Amino acid sequence: MQQRTIGSGPTSTDVSVLCLGTMHFGTHTPRETAFEVLDRFVDAGGTFLDTANNYSAWAEGGQGHESEDVIGAWLASRGLRDRVRIATKCGAAKKDPALPLSSTPPTNYQGLAAETIHREAATSLRHLGVDRLDVLYGHVDDRDTALEETVGAFGKLVADGVVGVPGISNVTTWRVVEARETAARLGVEPYGLVQQQGSYVYPGPTPFRSNWVSGDLLDYAASTGVDGRPPLAVTVYSPLHQGAFTRADKSLFGGADHPSSRRRVEVLREVARDAGATPNQVALAWLLGGPTPVIPIVGAHSVAQLDESLGALDLVLDDELRTRLDEA
């Protein structure tokens, strides 16, 4: 599997071009199955794992940290810490576990105050059983906390060797730019990763949408990696729309269920038939080979599901197929 570099300077690291999402490990996906999926991913050359400090608190019996605990147990049993890069997140878990999660007033989520970031980083280290987080994202942008405080806290963790690459998720592009400019003023490591929802289909237009990849974000990311503008990579979650590209019982979600997207899914399936591939493989190949390549985060409840996604790595969309997909 090909690798690409994320971050800048001494804290940069190489990760696989596909990232394994582990949200359901330890809840919907039993530990034994999760171990099988992790083993297969590493055997295929995968090196990038994605989790969070609240995966999966909403599942039956879930408390949060189940995914981190499974990864930690797998690392301890396999001795592969040096082979993988682990990204986790903080800030979106409930502040008060007894109340409903809410990011709107009255809010009930952790947010990205410095105290929270430092506390949750230490907690994730403990659950994962590691002494360094290769990537730590702010899970949801926190506009109630000054950027100087949030960016400074991430920067300190990098300077202390606790975090390799800081990142942010579910955020507007202007906030990414402002945060990176703030990091430059403070003299700390800037966000090197942004994680957004992204796939072959798009949401309908609506003001102030903050959780989807935008053209502006991809354009900005493409402009980085030059003097005075440290590199910025984009990771995308839900690239396969939770099975909606292949299953009639699954609907597009997150604002993407509209006529234009449904037409794109029809074209996606047509191209897949012509390419001798599955719609999921075509969707991933389209993301991987775009003008601004992103890193798709693929979940898998079984080795068979993972193998389907891995098949996208060998799929090259020729100009005619990509044009059909782009113009749908």
CA distance 38 to 47: 10
Buried b (16+ CB within 10 A) or exposed e, 140-168: bbbeebebeebbbbbbbbbeeebbbbbbb
Type of residue numbered 216: D
Give yes or no for a contact between 284 and 296, defined as CB atoms under 8 angstroms apart: yes
CA distance 67 to 53: 8
Residues carrying an active site annotation: 55
Phi-psi label, residue 242: left if phi above 0, alpha if psi -120 to 50, beta otherwise: left
Residue 219: partners with Cβ closer than 8 Å, 6 or more residues away? 292
CA distance 283 to 1: 18
Q: Which residue has the tokens 């599942």?
A: 59
**CA atoms within 13 A of residue 236's CA, in its CB half-sphere:** 26
Residue 56: asked if its preceding bond is cis (omega within 30°), the reply is: yes
